[in-house]
Structure 1
């Protein structure tokens, strides 16, 4: 039974035959209008309109349906585009993260400190038999082999390879001035001025006295020479 023939609706008994001027497509639209608006409302509307107005009203209803479907399709397409864009962004982020991790791994390999070669050098005592120039050569070779770049560390390493009165002289200077050696070059220069012949300050000490002078007396001599 056609829905517009509903026997329960006493105010409207229209049948398809009563609207033969409507096409099948238009009549299907009328039935959809009845499902949406209600049968009674549709029947009243059709009875109030002439044929041209009926065609126009049904055409507008069909157009509204098409517009609604297009909007749904557009919304689905937009959601699909947004989802695709989100997936692309996630993929790009994952790729960038992987690139950074690879770069960090590669950088750590390139920045890995080369292995150092620990070369031992002889102790400089500050006596006549020692060659200060030769000790400087040994010192420079050891610093390069150990890859000591920091100036303070270079000075500390040089001081650790002093002994005898040379070490006592160094300690005396640092007790008087903790910053006596600002760099390795300053350390070498002051060591050369003190112990390198013929200007060595210790060389004016009689040989007999050198063998008997004690560390305390030697330290006092060093401090006096710096005043």
Structure 2
């Protein structure tokens, strides 16, 4: 069979000269037709057709090939669009998965490294005006906000907020012994022993129990009580005693009277009510003193005369004149009374002569 095919192929190719009217493109199409339909069938078909029919048949075959290629291209384009959409969806899914993983990793990082808050505190100078206990409260709040857990870092942060005598004292100890402050508690203890006044809590308690408002306003008086209360840390004063001290120390007035009508449970409650009452009184006084009589404007015309005012002014003028005359008479009598002893003395000496 292969031999026959080879023979047919040779005979078919040998007849190319017999179809010289066909172009190279058409002859290539004929060869493709032979590979599809068979060489013998194509040869028989071409021999049975005239030249015009051959051209038409070959053109139709070429058109069918083009249509088939177009369908393949359209199918490939559709498949490519589907593949692109699938790849787009896969990319979106992978991006969302990556975003979720990053969010989870970020959340875990935030959980591992919590945010810190930088709080500035005042410098402790080691002078009497600075409250050491208050500075300790500021220091503890700043350390918690900054999340400083290491003991050495806590001591270093505390030393960085010293000034004046206190800073000189700390540097002197560090030069003598680099490990003088083993922990923050040791640092606080040694600082308290050096700069806290002797029997500071006893003195603060004594001053608190005998404290009076005096000439201070309610707010300044309350702030002083708060300061003394904060200085008593080892054995703090109970709330009822603080309320009693605050009320007894208030100056006599509406604020004190109002507080004694109430049952108060804490110092802050008493201070809040006292400041509100004091503010209300100040507002009432300010509104009463700020009242001004309406101004009278000159209309330019005649004004009615008040006869009662004229009569009262006349009586006042007459009274003033009579008082002035009486005063002049008294002055003359007093002058003559003082001159009588002098005249008598001169008459005794014979300087003057007194006629009866």
| Cα distance, 1:36 vs structure 2 | 39
1:163 Cα deviation after fit: 0.3
Deviating more after overlay: 133-142 vs 106-115 = 106-115
**Shift of the alpha carbon at 1:111?**
3.3
Deviation of 1:109 after TM superposition, in Å, equals: 3.2
Q: Taking structure 2 as the reference length, what is the TM-score of the superposition?
A: 0.28
**SS of residue matched to 1:198:** coil
Q: CA deviation at 1:27?
A: 52
CA apart distance, 1:198:
1.1
- Point out 4+ residue stretches in structure 1 off by more than 4 angstroms: 1-104, 199-202, 204-210, 221-227
Do the aligned residues in 2 keep the contact of 1:7 with 1:13 (CA within 8 Å)?
no
Aligned partners of 2:352, 2:36: CA distance in 1, in Å? Answer: 111
Deviations 1:88-147 (A, max 9, x none): 999999999999978982673353422211111110000111110000001001111111
Distance change (3 Å), C-alpha of 1:36 and 1:6: same
Quote the offset at 1:157 in angstroms: 0.4
Q: Distance in 1 between matches of 2:104 and 2:114?
A: 18
C-alpha displacement at 1:173, in angstroms?
Answer: 0.3
The count of residues paired between Structure 1 and Structure 2 equals: 219
Once residues 89 and 218 of structure 1 are traced to their aligned partners in structure 2, the CA distance between those partners, rounded to angstroms, is: 146
Distance 1:91 1:41 in 2: 54
In structure 1, list runs of 5 or more residues that go unmatched: 211-216
Q: Distance in 2 between matches of 1:170 and 1:178?
A: 10
Give the conservation status (yes or no) of the 8 Å contact 1:124–1:166. yes
Contact 2:29-2:58 within 8 A present in 1 as well:
yes
Q: Distance in 2 between matches of 1:225 and 1:189?
A: 102
**8 Å contact 2:8–2:39 — kept in the other structure?**
no
Deviates more, 1:78-87 or 1:184-193: 78-87
The aligned counterpart of 1:209 is: 323
Report deviation, 1:195: 0.4
CA distance in 2, matches of 1:109, 1:79: 44
**Residue ranges of structure 2 left out of the alignment (5+ in a row):** 203-251, 256-321, 325-346
SS of 2:351's partner is helix
Rg larger for = 2
Tell whether the 8 Å contact from 1:46 to 1:54 is kept in structure 2 after alignment.
yes
| Cα distance in 1 between the residues matched to 2:146 and 2:191 | 22
- Residue 126 of structure 1 contacts residue 166 of structure 1 at CA under 8 Å; is this kept in 2? yes
CA drift at 1:8: 33
Contact 1:118 1:145 in 2 (8 A): yes
Distance (whole Å) between structure 1 residues aligned to residue 171 and residue 200 of structure 2: 18
Change in CA separation of 1:223 and 1:135 when aligned onto 2, cut-off 3 Å: farther
Segment drifting more, 147-156 vs 17-26: 17-26
Match of 1:71 in 2: 71
Q: Deviations over 1:169-218 (max 9, x none)?
A: 0000000000000000000000000000117999x9999999xxxxxx99
Cα distance change on mapping 1:150 and 1:218 into 2, 3 Å: farther
Root mean square deviation, CA, Å = 23.4
Worse-superposed segment, 120-129 or 25-34: 25-34
2:2 corresponds to which residue? Answer: 2
